[in-house]
């Protein structure tokens, strides 16, 4: 089965009643955890981005406590998992400011770990890729915001 385009879905949703829309949303939320998390963000947390980012940072802190620093292999697996979580929350917000803030926070936590991540080719490339993403997000922001985030980025390097 071929999925309909976003425009086709939008046109179809415009013609539905509120009750039918509610039913479709609830059914969509039942099928995948990410759909439910996105709906939760949009309904309850989208109005207060600062609190949401603080909660995400707290979750990242908890995940970083679980990183196995005795082996670079196990550390790498956990760090990728944490990055997937961070990227998921970035997608939910859809904000370049949130993207820059969360990725800077992730990179700072990575640097604070007691592992030589620069000696691991994979972790070194992972870190550098996040710095590139941060720079891209910063470049798309307003000039006043850029200055603050560039300062934080310089602290990383």
- Give me the number of domains the chain comprises: 1
Which are the contacts of 145, defined by CB distance < 8 A and separation ≥ 6?
97, 138
| Confidence at residue 92, expressed as pLDDT on a 0 to 100 scale | 93
Please give the residue range of the domain that contains residue 111.
48-156
14: confidence class by pLDDT, cuts 50, 70, 90? confident
Average pLDDT over residues 73-93: 94
In a domain, 76, yes or no: yes
Average pLDDT over residues 49-75: 92
Average pLDDT over residues 128-153: 89
Q: Is the pLDDT of residue 31 over 80?
A: yes
In a domain, 92, yes or no: yes
Whether 106 and 137 have beta carbons less than 8 Å apart is answered as no
In a domain, 70, yes or no: yes
Rounded Cα gap, residues 139 and 50, in angstroms: 21
Q: Which two tokens stand for residue 128?
A: 């550098």
In a domain, 141, yes or no: yes
Nearest partner of 105 among 120, 121, 90, judged by Cα: 90
Beta strands in 78-134 (DSSP E): none
Q: Which two tokens stand for residue 62?
A: 């908890």
In a domain, 9, yes or no: no
In a domain, 140, yes or no: yes
80-88 own/partner pairs: CB under 8 Å, 24+ apart: 80/126, 82/106, 83/126, 83/130, 85/59, 85/60, 86/56, 86/60, 88/34, 88/37
């Amino acid at each position: 089965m071929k999925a309909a385009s976003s425009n086709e879905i939008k046109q179809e949703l415009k013609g539905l009643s509120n009750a039918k829309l509610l039913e479709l949303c609830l059914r969509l939320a039942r099928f995948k955890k990410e759909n439910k998390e996105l709906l939760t963000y949009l309904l309850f947390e989208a109005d207060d981005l600062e609190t949401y980012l603080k909660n995400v940072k707290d979750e990242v802190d908890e995940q970083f406590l679980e990183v196995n620093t005795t082996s670079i292999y196990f550390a790498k697996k956990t760090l990728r998992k944490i990055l997937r979580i961070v990227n998921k929350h970035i997608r939910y917000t859809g904000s370049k400011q949130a993207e820059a803030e969360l990725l800077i926070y992730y990179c700072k936590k990575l640097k604070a770990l007691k592992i030589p991540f620069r000696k691991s080719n994979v972790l070194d490339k992972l870190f550098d890729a996040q710095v590139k993403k941060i720079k891209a997000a910063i470049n798309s922001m307003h000039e006043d915001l850029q200055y603050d985030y560039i300062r934080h980025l310089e602290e990383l390097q």
